[in-house]
Structure formats: C-alpha cells, structure tokens
Amino acid sequence: MVAPTSAEFKDFVLEVEITSGSGVYTKVCGLTARDIKRKANINSNEVPSDCSDESLPSEIKKGVQSQEVMVGGSGVWAKQSHEMMLDWWYSGQTKNIRLQHVNAAVGDTEYESGPAILAELNNAVEKGQVVNAEISIEFNGLPTRTAKA
C-alpha cells in the first residue's frame, strides 16, 4: 500500500506581478487561507428520448459552455501588502498572477498563471483583534498551465 503524497499550506503559493511585464512576482503577505475554484458553466438542452413516442420524458443533454477560474484568500491585513493590494483594487487593472503548486511532480502542472482582476478586497476587525483581509481574484480567461521541469 502506498500513502498519498500531500501538500501543505507553504506548497500552494499566490503571487502577483506588480509591474506589468517585469516577470517579478510578489507574494500576497498575511493570507492564512488560499483557494482556487475552477468552474465549468454548463448548458442544458432537452432532447426527445424517443421520436416515435413523444409522450415519453425527454433527456437532458449537457455541455460545457464556458470555464472560469477564481482565486480566493483570507487572513490578516499585512502592512507588507497594504499598498500593493489597495493600488491594484483602486486601479481596476488586470495584473498577472500565478499560483504555484510547489510539490508538483516533474512534468505535472507547477504554475497556473495569467491576467487577473482583483474582484473583491475586504477588511474587517473586532475590538481586541487584528484587521482581517479577504480577497477574490478572477482570471481574465483561463490561466496558462506550466509544467514543472
């Protein structure tokens, strides 16, 4: 029996290219949770199941109409990322991001990267606590998958 090889928090990294085209990526500091959601938007069509007996129920045929990828994160609001995240949100710009799967095997997808929009940037705090952050990023198109060399 072989135990699964798993990844830890440090093995799933979110980075943003602050200066477009520079190839220099910066981690979003303070996040203690990250997620990626890959969604297929499905189109459904009713198709008759038997042309000789239209009283029979139709079948539902489904197909992928489009796909989208979203990244989320939450944690503390860190001074190191304060201006970077506020500048990004207020500019409304598309920035390149990348998600690194550090433990990917050679030949498997290590990076999912591409242009993305900071869709949500939320902060909250309770008395006696530190300021929390919650972000939502949406890829503008599907990300590019890059294999680990």
Domain spans of the chain? 9-147
Q: At 112, is the pLDDT very low, low, confident or very high (cuts 50, 70, 90)?
A: very high
CATH architecture of 9-147: Beta Barrel (2.40)
Burial (0-12, 13-18, 19+ Cβ within 10 Å), 88: buried
- How much is the average pLDDT of 22-26? 95
Helix or strand run (H / E) with residue 113: strand 109-124
Burial (0-12, 13-18, 19+ Cβ within 10 Å), 41: exposed
Helix or strand run (H / E) with residue 85: helix 79-91
In the prediction, which pLDDT does 107 show? 97
Rounded to two decimals, the pTM is: 0.89
As a whole-number percent, the residues of the chain with pLDDT over 70 amount to 100
Nearest to 71, CA basis, from 129, 14, 125? 14
Could you give phi then psi for residue 82, rounded to 5 degrees? Answer: -55, -60
In the prediction, which pLDDT does 71 show? 98
In the prediction, which pLDDT does 96 show? 98
Per-residue model confidence as pLDDT tens digits over 75-92? 999 999 999 999 999 999
In the prediction, which pLDDT does 55 show? 92
Q: At 105, is the pLDDT very low, low, confident or very high (cuts 50, 70, 90)?
A: very high
Report the chain's mean pLDDT, rounded to a whole number: 96
Strand-pairing partners, residue 40, are 67
Strand-pairing partners, residue 15, are 27, 98
Instruction: Give residue 100's identity as a one-letter amino acid code.
Output: Q
Nearest to 41, CA basis, from 68, 72, 81? 68
Q: At 93, is the pLDDT very low, low, confident or very high (cuts 50, 70, 90)?
A: very high
